[in-house]
């Protein structure tokens, strides 16, 4: 019996990627989809690359009618828009995976400070789990509300998790430099994402104020059993997909590169979507494009006694829709790789 799926907010990049990945999922039937801008029309009108792969007329946005007959709903909406829908979906005993930010932060004061809105259903925050399978696999299996992580946090947290959990680094000095393709900014056009402005350009943005900062700090603080702060600077680069995070931190102990690699091998030994690289085989965005893999390399710089971590993902797959499907698989007792076990696109 197949899992009956609905998608709310299907017209964006993540909505389209959900469709692309779910079409060939062996255990899924895509039953319904809806959005503000394309209701009443076929989803292929906004995702023409999926023509002849799927034909599905988008429903009008009546949430009670929409969730009838579904097992799980994916929400691909801006912050503040998901929470009230999650409440209605959850109360009807339908599982929900929110690709937005509404359930990622557990501290509601932090949520209000960074997102500048009050949370509309704070009572459900404790009922949700942060959907990073490499860390919360068992909790994801038990929960009906999944807060799908942000793209930058996925690359950063996965890059740092073994070192923070094993207390190998100084948690007071973590510097993160992340670079993302333009799809990470969404479909809405801005001056920063307009082709003449972005082409042949590289720019930093929201320095010291990016909304993924508290998400990264929250999860690393839990892993390290302390309250830590980070320096996080995101950049946009003129390509469609991909994130490469370069992370700098100081080691607490003397170690060799072989010992450092062993830490990562042991920590991620049961994680099918983590691929470990090394200083002679450094991660590249091209190697993960279109896939659900996260490629990581950790290098110990003996001269400065710093550890440099490189972590790369496809922001639309492991950074969004692929990870959401990985979470769905765990929620329904499937192999977490179901519908996702394929390589990246190269070249």
Q: Domain holding 41: CATH number? A: 3.40.50.720
Q: Are 170 and 292 members of one domain?
A: yes
Q: Check residue 167 and give its pLDDT.
A: 95
Residue 342 lies in a domain: no
The answer to whether residue 191 scores a pLDDT higher than 90 is no
Q: Are 129 and 162 members of one domain?
A: no
Of 132, 164, 128, 180, the C-alpha closest to 292 is 132
The answer to whether residue 188 scores a pLDDT higher than 90 is no
Q: Are 13 and 157 members of one domain?
A: no
Cα 268 → chain centroid: 18
The answer to whether residue 322 scores a pLDDT higher than 90 is yes
- Whether 70 and 54 have beta carbons less than 8 Å apart is answered as no
Please write the tens of the pLDDT for every residue from 212-223. Answer: 999 999 999 999
Residue 343 lies in a domain: no
Q: Are 325 and 297 members of one domain?
A: no
Residue 11 lies in a domain: yes
Q: Are 298 and 222 members of one domain?
A: yes
Residue 292 lies in a domain: yes
Q: Are 235 and 299 members of one domain?
A: yes
- Whether 54 and 23 have beta carbons less than 8 Å apart is answered as yes
* Number of Cβ within a 10 Å radius of residue 140: 22
Q: Are 174 and 290 members of one domain?
A: yes
Q: Check residue 193 and give its pLDDT.
A: 87
For residues 23 and 38, what is the distance between their CA atoms, to the nearest angstrom?
19
Q: Are 324 and 304 members of one domain?
A: no
Helices (H), 166-321: 195-198, 213-224, 257-267, 285-288
User: Model confidence at 90, in pLDDT bands (50, 70, 90)?
Assistant: very high
End-to-end CA distance of the chain: 37
Q: Are 283 and 307 members of one domain?
A: yes
- Residue % of the chain over a pLDDT of 90: 93
Strands 231-236 and 72-75, sheet pairing: unpaired
Strands 128-130 and 145-147, sheet pairing: parallel
For residues 131 and 137, what is the distance between their CA atoms, to the nearest angstrom?
8
Of 323, 301, 324, 271, the C-alpha closest to 162 is 271
Structural domain harbouring 213: 152-314
For residues 51 and 58, what is the distance between their CA atoms, to the nearest angstrom?
15
Segment 170-198 shows an average pLDDT of 91
Tally of structural domains, the chain:
2
Q: Are 282 and 324 members of one domain?
A: no
Please write the tens of the pLDDT for every residue from 20-79. Answer: 999 999 999 999 999 988 999 999 999 999 999 999 999 988 999 999 999 999 999 999
The answer to whether residue 186 scores a pLDDT higher than 90 is no
Q: Check residue 139 and give its pLDDT.
A: 98
- Whether 98 and 86 have beta carbons less than 8 Å apart is answered as yes
Which residues does 64 contact at the CB level (< 8 Å), separation at least 6?
88, 92
Strand partners, 1: none
Residue 344 lies in a domain: no
Q: Are 170 and 58 members of one domain?
A: no
Sign, CA torsion 202/208/211/215? positive
Residues with active-site annotation = 151
User: Model confidence at 84, in pLDDT bands (50, 70, 90)?
Assistant: very high
Which residues does 70 contact at the CB level (< 8 Å), separation at least 6?
4, 5, 6, 31, 32, 94
Residue 336 lies in a domain: no
Residue 262 lies in a domain: yes
Residue 340 lies in a domain: no
CATH of the domain at 295: 3.30.360.10
Q: Are 100 and 183 members of one domain?
A: no
Of 268, 284, 315, 301, the C-alpha closest to 162 is 268
């Amino acid at each position: 019996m197949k899992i009956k799926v609905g998608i709310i907010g299907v017209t964006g990049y993540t909505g389209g990627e959900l469709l692309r990945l779910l079409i060939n999922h062996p255990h899924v039937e895509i039953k319904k989809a809806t959005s503000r801008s394309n209701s009443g029309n076929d989803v292929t009108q906004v995702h023409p690359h999926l023509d002849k792969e799927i034909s599905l007329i988008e429903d009008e946005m009546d949430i009670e009618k929409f969730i009838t007959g579904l097992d799980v709903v994916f929400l691909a909406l801006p912050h503040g828009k998901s929470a009230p829908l999650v409440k209605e979906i959850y109360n009807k005993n339908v599982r929900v995976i929110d690709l937005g930010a509404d359930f990622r932060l557990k501290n509601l004061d932090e949520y209000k400070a960074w997102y500048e809105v009050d949370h509309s259903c704070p009572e459900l925050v404790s009922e949700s789990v942060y959907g990073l399978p490499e860390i919360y696999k068992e909790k994801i299996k038990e929960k009906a509300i999944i807060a799908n992580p942000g793209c930058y946090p996925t690359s950063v947290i996965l890059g740092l998790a073994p070192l923070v959990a094993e207390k190998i680094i100084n948690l007071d000095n973590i510097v993160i430099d992340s670079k993302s393709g333009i799809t990470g900014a969404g479909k809405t056009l801005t001056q920063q994402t307009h082709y003449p402005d972005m082409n042949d350009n590289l720019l930093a943005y929201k320095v010291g104020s990016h909304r993924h900062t508290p998400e990264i700090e929250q999860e690393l603080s839990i892993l390290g059993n302390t309250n830590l702060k980070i320096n996080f600077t995101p950049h946009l680069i003129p390509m469609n997909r991909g994130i490469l995070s370069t992370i700098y931190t100081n080691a607490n102990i003397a170690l060799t590169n072989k010992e450092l690699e062993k830490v990562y091998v042991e920590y991620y030994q049961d994680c099918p979507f983590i691929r470990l690289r090394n200083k002679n085989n450094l991660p590249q965005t091209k190697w993960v494009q279109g896939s659900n893999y996260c490629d990581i390399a950790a290098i110990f710089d003996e001269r400065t006694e710093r550890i440099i971590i490189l972590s790369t993902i496809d922001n639309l797959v492991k950074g969004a829709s692929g990870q959401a499907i990985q979470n769905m698989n765990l929620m329904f007792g499937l192999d977490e790789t179901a519908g996702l076990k394929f390589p990246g696109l190269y070249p």
